[in-house]
Structure 1
Amino acid sequence: MLNLNRFSWLAVVVLLLNVLNGQSLLAQRSLFPQKPGMVSYTYRKSFEKNVAATLDTIKALGITDMEFSNLFGKTAAELRKLLDERGMRCSSFGINYADALNKTQEVGQNAKTLGASFVRVAWVPHDGPFTLNMAKKTVADFNQIGKSLKDDYGLTFCYHNHGYEFQPYEKGTLFDYIVQQTDPRYVSFEMDILWTVFPGQDPVALLNKYPKRFKLMHLKDLRKGVVGNLSGGTPVENDVALGTGQINLPAILKAARKAGIEHYYIEDESPNITTQVPQSIAYLSRLTE
């Protein structure tokens, strides 16, 4: 009888430990359980030399979701074949402003061939500071581009902020103006977190302010000590591995999940991608709540 009691108490203790351990694991669930995607610009120099080998390199990192902003000398069909052969996909197709506006049908056809759901523009051509008149033209063009891509191809058009749009305007910025004046049926946004922090903005506040407008996100980090501005430019060496810079990634990822971001892409413009990209992937996998 004594041995049975001891056994029973031991069983209770083991059960309690398992319950507590389970609660601990739940309390520390992964903040970013999915695999990130990759922006082709990160591997631009490698893609220029050998597209197939570069895709193999990215796939070896466990990444299968791509955002291409260049076809690297291939047709959309040729690039799609290389992706399909590797079990990879292109979810977003980045193009320049002029092509989006003047070659919308060609852009739409290429995006559909690639299998993309999104078409993205990352820069509005301008000289000097970004102005209200520039923002007004941008709004008109984006509404036109977005409607055509949605109606004709079922694609979602996104604008990727680059920092210069945060010029002060009324009680906010010209970026606010663009978000508020574009038609949400046809125009969505991709948040580049470096180009949000660099001009002095708060990504969490923007995600909370416009929770249904952001669909995509570029995951980047900005070197500690770098002071930003509204130029939309900084040396590529200021791109550092995720978690080693000045950006509060955990807070942004929590807000992004709440806002319904659909695709997250690592973008590292630095010459140190061989070491920094694996570092960034490992950092994301370690994040817990």
Structure 2
Amino acid sequence: MTAFTASRRHMLFGAAALLALSGCKPAPSAAPASDSAAAKTAIDAWPVGMQLWTVNAELAKDVPGTLKAVKDAGYDVVETAGTQGKTAADFKTLIEAAGLKARSAHTNMPKLIENADKEINDALALGVEWLICSSPQTPAPLPAGSDWIVGMTKAMTADAWKMNAEHMAKIAPLVKKAGLKFGYHNHPMEFKDLGGGQTGYDILMSAGDASLIRAELDLGWVAVAGLDPVATMKKYADRLDLLHIKDMVKDDKQPSGFRSTEIGHGMIDWKPVFAAAQTLGVKNYFVEQEPPFLKPAIESLKESRAFIARL
């Protein structure tokens, strides 16, 4: 597995355009009080996880030192987003030397189409349980210089999602045969109404039953898409294994009008989210924050970890 390109994750800059296209507005989460009262703390219920994309810039400079800083910030498990040019086996060694464990690995549909066996073998070498497709294949390359979210929203028609679903239907059994779980990670465009209430996300989930295709819901992007995080978790409960714990705040200085921020500083009410996650049997969560950062990424991770400890 190789490192992802910057366009893979520079999605904040087009989220507002997606909202305009979809006509949606972010909605607050809600959950029954009984769920919240019954929940263990977020620390007790799961190992504390984080998505390594949060520190991708730091990893590019110093892999061992950055992984140690992640551990020192209070995290136990990680989800990979590439291997910083190293073999998967070597990257696993570095992760474990820092006292961390890789539990999930991100890839994307173009890589899976090109060489699914390599992506599967890399995931096995990392020692993870889940291989997650983080983004779809477009019918044609996006126009040069286009915003990723805007371009993807325009490109991903119903037919484009169906094309990706066809690939998923072929890839998911291969992943399962290898002893891994295959899942999909969303952005906002998956939830755009394509007509008659049909969404790209539902098209993708139709590619296989819950034994083949699992869900990793990125709740920050769910909220930006105008959906309620808890309601969305419950809708896909039969597939839901993993969560991206990502918070968003309105920021008029950003082209999107939104900025990723520390957990607890944004638009999502996290207590009902974690209560629902426990009730629904979520297996793990990964804190993720994306650039631009207003402070060093490790400091942001520490703040997010401290907030989760108080839940």
**Same fold, TM exceeding 0.5?**
yes
- The 10-residue stretch of structure 1 (124-133 or 212-221) with the greater mean CA deviation from structure 2: 124-133
Moved more, 265-274 or 63-72: 265-274
In the TM superposition, residue 250 of structure 1 has moved relative to its aligned partner by: 1.3
RMSD: 2.3
* 2-structure distance, mates of 1:77, 1:28: 37
Cα distance in structure 2, aligned partners of 1:185 and 1:274: 36
- Cα separation, 1, equivalents of 2:285 and 2:116: 25
Shift of 1:264: 0.5
Aligned position for 1:118: 130
Indicate the SS of the match to 2:216.
strand
Q: Secondary structure at the match of 1:125?
A: coil
Q: Which amino acid aligns with 2:299?
A: T
**Residue of structure 2 equivalent to 1:277:** 301
- Tell me, in whole angstroms, the C-alpha distance in 1 between the residues paired with 2:161 and 2:38: 45
User: More deviation in 214-223 or 164-173?
Assistant: 164-173
One-letter code aligned to 2:56: R
- Greater Rg by CA: 1
- TM-score in terms of structure 2 length: 0.76
C-alpha contact 1:212 1:260 (8 A) present in aligned 2: no
Q: How far is 1:224 from its partner?
A: 4.1
Task: Give me the whole-angstrom Cα distance separating, in 1, the residues matched to 2:188 and 2:243.
Answer: 14
Question: Runs of at least 4 residues of structure 1 off by over 4 A?
Answer: 26-29
Q: Deviation at 1:57?
A: 0.6
Q: Output the CA distance in 1 between the equivalents of 2:285 and 2:39.
A: 22
Partner of 2:182: 157
The answer to whether 1:82 aligns with 2:82 is no
Aligned with 1:140: secondary structure?
A: helix
Write out per-residue CA displacement over residues 204-231 of structure 1, whole angstroms, 9 at most, x where no aligned residue.
11211121211111111110477xxxxx
Q: Deviations over 1:227-251 (max 9, x none)?
A: xxxxxx947x701111111112112
Instruction: Tell me if 1:256 matches 2:277.
Output: yes
Say whether 1:62 aligns with 2:74: yes
What is residue 107 of structure 2 aligned with on the other side? 95
Q: Retained in 2: the 8 A contact 1:216–1:264? A: yes
In 2, are the aligned partners of 1:67 and 1:94 still within 8 Å (CA)?
yes
Q: Which protein has greater RCO, CA pairs closer than 8 Å, 6+ apart?
A: 2
Residues 70 and 94 of structure 1 are in contact (CA less than 8 Å); yes or no, is this contact kept in structure 2? yes
CA shift, 1:203, in A, is 1.6
Task: Check the 8 A contact 2:248/2:266 in 1, yes or no.
Answer: yes
Pairing partner for 1:30 from 32, 41, 46:
41
What letter is aligned with 1:158?
G
CA distance, structure 2, for counterparts of residue 46 and residue 164 of structure 1: 29
User: Unpaired runs of 5+ in structure 2?
Assistant: 1-36, 139-150
Q: 1:28 to 1:222 in 2, by over 3 A?
A: same
In 1, Cα distance between equivalents of 2:109 and 2:55:
22
- Go from structure 1 to structure 2 and tell me whether the alpha carbon gap of 1:225 and 1:258 turns closer, same or farther (over 3 Å shift): farther
Q: Which amino acid aligns with 1:30?
A: T
TM-score (norm 1): 0.81
1:244 paired residue number: 265
Residue 190 of structure 1: aligned partner: 216
Deviation of residue 81 (structure 1)? 1.4
Specify the SS of the correspondent of 2:214. strand
- Whole-Å separation in 2 of the counterparts to 1:246 and 1:35: 24
Distance in 1 (alpha carbons) for counterparts of 2:40 and 2:60 = 39
Within the alignment, does 1:210 sit opposite 2:209 as a pair? no
Q: 1:41 to 1:48 in 2, by over 3 A?
A: same
> Equivalent residue for 2:163?
137
SS at match of 1:104: helix
Preserved CA contact (<8 Å) 1:129 1:164: no
Letter in 2 for 1:171: G
2:196 corresponds to 1:175? no
User: For residues 70 and 234 of structure 1, what CA distance do their matches in structure 2 show?
Assistant: 26
Which residue identity lines up with residue 266 of structure 2 in the other structure?
G
Aligned length in residues: 255
Q: Could you list the runs of 5+ residues in structure 1 that have no partner in the other structure?
A: 1-25, 227-232
Taking every aligned residue pair, what percent have the same amino acid on both sides? Answer: 27
Contact 2:53 2:288 (C-alpha < 8 Å) held by counterparts: yes
CA contact 2:215–2:236 (8 Å) conserved in 1: no
Q: Using the alignment, how far apart are the partners of 1:129 and 1:200 within structure 2?
A: 20
